[in-house]
């Protein structure tokens, strides 16, 4: 019940700030457009790099969304009050992390048509692509939410959060890019299943450890 209440609060906050979510999507779509200019009018090269650019665009967008995870609590000094309630800090963390996961997943799905148009990188394996986006977004949101709590009171949190987050999620990004590339370009040896399982393993590790460590973070 505590987790459901925390998740409901986060979803309502995100819905009230949907204009910002639209702005983040426009930023991501613009990033994909700029990446296509960097490659040039080479259709084959665009298609080969499409998966990497998709996840790079989603990663850049995540720094904008994750940095604001604890913004409302910091503005109204409500975090201490929430921790004084008879609710588990772990429920607060998972509520925020799941909300961020849903937001990044929706953003990733919305960026796929942009990728298809700009890079001619369509695929019929939509369920596999959806699974990769779900797992990859989960691998970003779990540690991203934890680091957002750690940097929420820092003046340069927009810069500090990527410096802490990016090195940790390199394995998730590599697996996501590789799995997405196999789905788009073809997978004659059925390697994508192995990369998806690797993504799932990283998600289990991140979501377990970050939930445990969040108690220590909010105590500091």
pLDDT in tens, 122-145: 777 889 899 999 999 999 999 998
Q: Is 205 exposed, middle or buried (0-12, 13-18, 19+ CB in 10 A)?
A: middle
The listed range with the strongest mean pLDDT (78-82, 106-110, 125-129) is: 106-110
The listed range with the strongest mean pLDDT (20-24, 139-143, 151-155) is: 139-143
CB 15 within 8 A of CB 74: no
Global pTM reads 0.87
Sign of the C-alpha dihedral, residues 215, 63, 58, 3? Answer: positive
Q: What pLDDT does residue 218 have?
A: 65
Around Cβ 5, how many Cβ atoms within 10 Å? 14
Q: What pLDDT does residue 136 have?
A: 94
């Amino acid at each position: 019940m505590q987790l459901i209440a925390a998740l409901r609060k986060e979803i309502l906050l995100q819905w009230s700030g949907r204009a910002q979510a639209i702005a983040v999507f426009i930023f991501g779509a613009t990033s994909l457009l700029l990446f296509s200019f960097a490659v040039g009018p080479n259709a084959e090269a665009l298609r080969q790099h499409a998966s990497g650019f998709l996840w790079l665009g989603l990663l850049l967008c995540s720094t904008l969304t994750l940095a604001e995870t604890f913004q409302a609590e910091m503005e109204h000094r409500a975090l201490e009050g929430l921790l004084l309630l008879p609710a588990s800090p772990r429920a607060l963390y998972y509520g925020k992390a799941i909300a961020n996961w849903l937001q990044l997943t929706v953003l990733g799905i919305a960026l796929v048509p942009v990728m298809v148009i700009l890079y001619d990188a369509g695929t019929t394996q939509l369920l596999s692509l959806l699974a990769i986006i779900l797992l990859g977004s989960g691998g970003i949101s779990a540690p991203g939410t934890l680091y957002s709590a750690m940097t929420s009171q820092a003046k340069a949190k927009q810069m500090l959060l990527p410096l802490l987050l990016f090195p940790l999620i390199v394995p998730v990004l590599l697996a996501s890019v590789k799995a997405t590339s196999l789905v788009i370009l073809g997978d004659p040896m059925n390697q994508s299943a192995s990369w998806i399982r690797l993504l799932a393993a990283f998600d289990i590790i991140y979501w377990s450890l970050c939930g445990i460590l969040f108690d220590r973070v909010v105590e500091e």
